[in-house]
Amino acid sequence: SRVTRNFYSLIAGFVEPGENLEQAVAREVKEETGLEVENIRYQASQPWPFPHQLMVGFFADYRSGELRLQEDELADAGWFTVEDHPPVPPSTTIAGRLIRAMKAEITGQGGEKARD
């Protein structure tokens, strides 16, 4: 997101009329990063009080493409290893929970779950 903070977050967007959630994920990732993803799978959701929305989080696998930022949406993006990942958003956020869950999945520690 273009919001300046001391951590990286995740790609976000809205579902367009006629799209299902998986199509929206693929479109948003492509629009904001130039990357194509596959194997899109639901992980968690979080109510967002204003303006009465539901945030839905997914994991996906890289399929193809070169990282190319949509600069009006993203200030920066990158690939990180578990060891060199920058600070993570708070665990009270869906982004924080998703990143922690993915790190646990990668390291085989499995204790973290994105779902509440």
* Lowest-pLDDT choice from 5-9, 32-36, 111-115: 111-115
Q: Is residue 5 part of a domain?
A: no
- How far apart CA 29 and CA 73 sit, in angstroms, is 11
What pTM did the predictor assign?
Answer: 0.83
Is the pLDDT confidence value at 75 over 90?
A: no
Q: Is residue 81 part of a domain?
A: yes
**Which one has a higher pLDDT value, 98 or 5?**
98
pLDDT at 71: 86
Burial tier of 112 (Cβ tally within 10 Å: 0-12, 13-18, 19+): middle
pLDDT at 83: 87
Is the pLDDT confidence value at 116 over 60?
A: no
Most confident stretch, 58-62, 80-84, 91-95: 58-62
Q: Is residue 4 part of a domain?
A: no
Domains identified in the chain, total number: 1
Structure tokens at 102: 């993915």
Q: Which domain CATH number covers 100? A: 3.90.79.10
pLDDT in tens, 21-48: 999 999 999 999 999 999 999 999 999 8
Exposure of 16 in the CB half-sphere (CA atoms within 13 A):
6
* Lowest-pLDDT choice from 14-23, 53-62, 75-84: 75-84
Q: Is residue 89 part of a domain?
A: yes
Q: Is residue 28 part of a domain?
A: yes
Q: Is residue 92 part of a domain?
A: yes
Task: Look at residues 35, 13, 34 and name the one whose alpha carbon lies nearest to residue 24.
Answer: 13
Q: Is residue 6 part of a domain?
A: no
Q: Is residue 71 part of a domain?
A: yes
Q: Which domain does 54 fall in, by range?
A: 21-107
